Amino acid sequence: MSFVVHNLNFPFPCRADTEVRRTVPAKVTLPGLFSARDADGTHRLVFRLGDDRSPATPLTDRAALDAGFISHTILDFSKLGSI
Protein backbone atom coordinates (compact mmCIF):
# COMPACT_ATOMS: atom_id res chain seq x y z
CA MET A 1 0.00 0.00 0.00
CA SER A 2 1.32 3.43 -0.92
CA PHE A 3 0.58 6.69 0.81
CA VAL A 4 2.51 9.52 -0.86
CA VAL A 5 1.91 13.23 -0.33
CA HIS A 6 3.39 16.01 -2.46
CA ASN A 7 4.04 18.93 -0.12
CA LEU A 8 4.46 22.34 -1.78
CA ASN A 9 5.55 25.48 0.08
CA PHE A 10 5.56 28.91 -1.54
CA PRO A 11 7.82 31.82 -0.58
CA PHE A 12 6.45 35.29 -0.10
CA PRO A 13 6.35 36.99 -2.47
CA CYS A 14 5.86 34.25 -5.07
CA ARG A 15 5.81 35.11 -8.76
CA ALA A 16 4.90 33.14 -11.89
CA ASP A 17 8.61 32.68 -12.68
CA THR A 18 9.65 31.50 -9.18
CA GLU A 19 11.71 28.32 -9.54
CA VAL A 20 10.62 25.03 -7.98
CA ARG A 21 13.25 22.97 -6.14
CA ARG A 22 12.92 19.34 -5.01
CA THR A 23 13.56 19.26 -1.27
CA VAL A 24 13.59 17.08 1.83
CA PRO A 25 11.95 17.96 5.15
CA ALA A 26 14.08 20.10 7.43
CA LYS A 27 15.24 18.55 10.71
CA VAL A 28 13.73 20.94 13.24
CA THR A 29 13.86 21.02 17.02
CA LEU A 30 10.59 22.46 18.30
CA PRO A 31 10.23 24.19 21.65
CA GLY A 32 7.19 23.46 23.80
CA LEU A 33 3.93 23.91 21.94
CA PHE A 34 1.91 25.27 24.87
CA SER A 35 2.26 28.13 27.33
CA ALA A 36 2.51 27.61 31.05
CA ARG A 37 -0.85 27.00 32.71
CA ASP A 38 -2.90 30.17 33.29
CA ALA A 39 -4.63 30.91 36.59
CA ASP A 40 -7.81 29.27 35.27
CA GLY A 41 -5.90 26.08 34.40
CA THR A 42 -5.88 26.54 30.64
CA HIS A 43 -2.91 26.50 28.26
CA ARG A 44 -2.45 28.41 25.03
CA LEU A 45 -0.94 27.12 21.81
CA VAL A 46 2.31 28.97 21.10
CA PHE A 47 3.59 28.78 17.51
CA ARG A 48 7.33 28.99 16.90
CA LEU A 49 9.30 27.89 13.85
CA GLY A 50 11.88 26.08 15.95
CA ASP A 51 15.59 25.65 15.31
CA ASP A 52 16.65 24.15 11.99
CA ARG A 53 19.23 21.42 12.70
CA SER A 54 19.55 20.28 9.07
CA PRO A 55 22.89 19.63 7.38
CA ALA A 56 23.85 21.85 4.42
CA THR A 57 22.82 19.16 1.91
CA PRO A 58 20.46 17.96 0.64
CA LEU A 59 18.33 21.07 0.16
CA THR A 60 15.55 21.31 2.75
CA ASP A 61 12.12 22.86 2.40
CA ARG A 62 13.03 25.66 4.82
CA ALA A 63 16.33 26.43 3.06
CA ALA A 64 14.55 26.57 -0.31
CA LEU A 65 11.96 29.01 1.04
CA ASP A 66 14.68 31.15 2.64
CA ALA A 67 16.40 31.30 -0.78
CA GLY A 68 13.14 32.37 -2.47
CA PHE A 69 12.32 29.06 -4.19
CA ILE A 70 9.13 27.00 -4.17
CA SER A 71 9.85 23.77 -2.30
CA HIS A 72 8.46 20.42 -3.47
CA THR A 73 8.88 17.62 -0.93
CA ILE A 74 7.63 14.11 -1.56
CA LEU A 75 6.52 12.52 1.71
CA ASP A 76 6.25 8.73 1.45
CA PHE A 77 4.32 7.62 4.53
CA SER A 78 4.26 4.02 3.37
CA LYS A 79 7.89 3.81 4.59
CA LEU A 80 6.99 4.69 8.20
CA GLY A 81 7.90 1.92 10.57
CA SER A 82 10.02 0.07 8.05
CA ILE A 83 13.61 -0.84 8.80
Residue pLDDT, tens place only, 29-67: 877 778 888 889 888 888 777 788 888 889 999 999 999
70 — pLDDT class (breaks 50, 70, 90): very high
83 — pLDDT class (breaks 50, 70, 90): low
Going by C-alpha positions, the residue among 82, 71, 83, 81 that lies closest to residue 23 is 71
Torsion angle of the four alpha carbons 20, 23, 28, 32, in this order, in degrees rounded to the nearest 10: 60
DSSP state of 63: H
- Pairwise CA distance, residues 68 & 19, whole Å: 8
- pTM score of the predicted model: 0.71
